[in-house]
Structure 1
Amino acid sequence: MTAHHTDVDSTSGSTPALTKRWGRELKRLTRALRTLSAGNRTLLRASSEQELLQAMCDVIVGEGGYHGATVRYAREDAQKTLALEAYALAPGINADTDGWTHAVTFSWDDTEFGHNPAGIAFRTRRPYVCQNLLEPPVSPWQTEAVRLGYASSSAFPLVIDGEAIGTLGLCAAEPDAFDEDEVGLLSELAEDLAYGIANLRTRLKHREAEATIQRMACSDALTGLANRSGLRERLQFEIEKAREWNEPVALLFLDMIRLQDINDSLGYPSGDLLQQEVARRLAEGLTRDTLVARIGDGEFAIILPRSDAEHAMHMAQRLSSLLNEPTEIGGMRLDGRAAIGVALFPGHGTEPDALLRRARVAMAEAKRSGRSHAVYTVKIDQTYASRLALMGDLRQAIEKNELSLYCQPKVHVESSRLCGAEALVRWPHPERGILSTGQFIELAEHSGLITPLTHWVLESAFRHRYAWQAKGVTQPLSVNLSAHDLRDPALVGWIEGLMSTWGAEPDWIEFELTESALMQDPVRAVSTLGRLKQLGSRLFVDDFGIGHSSLSYLQKLPVDALKIDQSFVAPITEDRSSAAIVRLAVGLGHDLGLEVVAEGVENRAQWDRLAELGCDVIQGYYVGNPMPADQYGCWQQSSPWREPSVRTPG
């Protein structure tokens, strides 16, 4: 058989045309594999989403050898735009790049702007190829293809969790590019890119979550300021910097004096609004290099870098004035008045916790002394440490029933007869001896112990008054209530429970309230006193004359008696002005239908002068010293004030 000569490749049996075609296909597959490999390396190196998109376009063109590459993201706008996020074009293309990016609108909608590989690939979630673009153009984007010199185009959907977010587009110079094998490899590239995008977004969410957690850990939720952790971290930084540069740092500790009263009277939402206003004023009133933190309820701290004592005191005074300006909250004008303590690095401490503690100590001294601010000293610290120790002892004394109830008798002037007694609490301290009420009542008010102390006094008073009743003593026993007690919504219920427990009559126990306590919150005071009156109890305004009571409120208060403060009684026989004040107080009380009691009577001359002025009841050492409550019954039976016919001692 004679063989016909043809141009056949002896190794493959292929014709030259097939060999050429296979060569082109191999070249395209190699290009696709090279692009896929380079794309995978890009996935490993990119640290941000935008960096990944641009790097992928660059390697598709630069290493893969494609004519151009684009990444488009779908937008939920009216045009349903496929917005260009990143792109790359082959070197040497004579094109107006900016004009190219905006020349044609790409859409994922099924409109003329969506009839292109990108729009079709996005809608169908499948790769789409368009070849022979250099034939007579039929669409605007094909016109751009002719202008930019590419003859075929392909687009691959970018799908994350089953949802398409955009497309990866490639274009090639030859008209027959993107056969089935090449499209398969490039589909893997698109899937890898989508995975990389999802991974970077997940990492970003994790970083954002970590940043949020860190921010929340160092931020105060109510005000947005730094919290205690944020303060401590910044203070440590400022101390280290100050140590390096040999500079001072000041720490200011602010405590809002009236916040608890506002919370009790108007509710915690009003208190929160006031704290937010204080935070705003502090932040606006300080320079950018300072830090303001809210570190507790009504407690703020400020770090002043490069600040000495003089500058810190000046800032404390300035902030005090700033916070004293009232603001309207809940229909009332309230101020954020604060006591401010100052501590300085390095003189008062070289560690954050030490400075914070000493600034707090200085704040407590400012509050105790009625000043707007104070600088820490060792003496203040010693006093504060002593008060803390005494506070702990007081708590233990209340819990272990180690307090003692004393009574001081009262005598009716006209009859010279005992008409009652005032309950006074004494504390037999194991090291300091007998402590009077005045020595620890302020401590109780500022340490949160006033409520348990009041409960102890009330329980003891009811118990002793019950014992008196068994001995035939029918005089009432009066108990003092503080401003905090008046704000306690459980007070009246507690007293009702004690009356039920001991079978008490309404006239067994009377209640005394200082004028200043009543005026702290007159509206709440009227409400609480009204409920006490409903129990049948008699009510006294104590220390009358030294407060700032409004006569209009005094007229509204359901009280039965006024007690003139002893500071007016002591000089009454020698000081005409004191006598005039007492005369006015007696006249006012009687005009209002109230009984008038004089405290601190120590001799017969004072008694006689008070009698001339019309005082109704006398109390003081002249009548009798305070005595243990369990001795009062026996003393009363032998007292010269026992019977109305007994002559007053003199």
Structure 2
Amino acid sequence: MSTHEALSDRPLFVLSPTHRDAMADRLSALGVPAMVARRREGLVRRFIMAGSNALLVDARDAVPDTLAALHDIGAIVRANGARIIVMNARGESGALADFVAAGFDIYLPGDCCDEELRACIAISTGGAGVADDGADDRRFLEQRRDHVTGLPGETAALALLHARLATSSATILLVEPTDLDRVNDQAGEEAGDELLRILAGLIDRFARDEWGPDALVTRLKGARFLLIAPAETSVEQVQAETQALVDSLGTPVMLAGTSWQVGCRTAVIAGAQGTQPSDLLRDAAQALGSEGIDGPAIIIGTAITKAEVRVVYQPQFAIEGGAMTGVEALARWDHPDLGPLGAAPLVTAARRAGVLPELTAHIHEIALADMTGWPKAMGHVRLSLNITAEDLARSGFSARFLNRLARWDAPCSRITVEITEDAMVRDIAQASAALAELKEAGVGIAIDDFGSGYAGLGYLRDLPVDYLKIDSDMTKDLVGSQRDQAVIHAVFELARSLGFETIAEGVETTEQLDLLKAESCTYYQGFLRSAAVASDQLAEFL
């Protein structure tokens, strides 16, 4: 048996900050299944989802970055029983001691030949000299990935918690839907599984939006979901954000032709370094539904007047060529007591106080002010601003919005407004009139999170839409079942037939990007290229 034949079916996970494309081509030529990443963001999450049993760190010309990455991911790699390969240039041997301290199993010179590289990978993945039918690989993935939701399963959850608690404290959020049994009994288990998939998508999107690519979401046994907050996140921060998640999960969903209102119970708890994962999960389970888990009172007016709201920007890139073509403005809340929070608690507080349009206007003012400071080289970059159903419901919204653009000397041709399909169809006539005024002035119109709502498609004919933003859950479905792929293919066909450009959200892997190219998607955004960054960092993507 040749070494090539002995390679594992599980993909090799590779971090290569400076030689990513060349490494991907080399591994492909060697017949090595691999997921090759360039950036550190979200490494733990992507490693778990890949189901890899080996990590190759390509440190050539990137020793500081890869050492930092090993610090981030090393514990979880070892907790999953995977091996670590470090590749580095011969002239950088001085870093060997640092990599020894960080921990690795095999060290490769950067100029190694193909046979050496392939043999090393075969040994590391357990493939060399082993002939089986791939059953071990399938069992590995089944143990670590929940087959209903696609999230990491309980085995992965325990491994993640073990790795985190070995070196630091951990704050977790446990979420349990309260209506799954009723759905299973009245609508059938297929509808129950669909509900779990919907909830998993909402929870996963919430975690990524609020905590970034390093947030981790897993499904435990039964119907419970575990969210592991990034390091240094306090219980109080998570509590403040939890209500926004509960509100999101409370949105009615369509199952088997019937609208269902789903409730949930939550618990937030922290474990000190050295705590056993099973003990932490037990304590969280006992706290589910208990009283006294409410976060502190939040006053939205103070956040605005005391400049606690800031705006970050997630770049959008052309599928063909990879150039940055636009950015989406996203709000963040620098809470004086709780520290940095995402947009969800801010928006939830503003909506409950009845001042969401005031918050939206404030965010727009910040973003337009930032835009005036962008360098001339960014003169082609579009700025996307989110608007809400509450904005469209107020008389004179479009006139006020256009006046705001004029005050900041912002060309309408470089502005896009984004609104979710659910918000758009609350009052289709009013939304259509307001958006038509913006469209006539030259502002682009984008349907945000397309595919996440349950509205009919007829409104697409009646509204002045330029872009469909493909929901991140649909982006995941690119690598899903044939049925999932058929649905998303139909969405792209619909967009093409209506003359819309498409923007895929939540792109995290090169495999997704390649499939988007095959669907002739126009643009994409996601952790594969960049999380949201400060305004002064955007020029780095030119």
TM-score range, shorter chain: 0.3 to 0.5
State TM-score, norm by structure 2.
0.46
Which structure's CA Rg is the greater one? 1
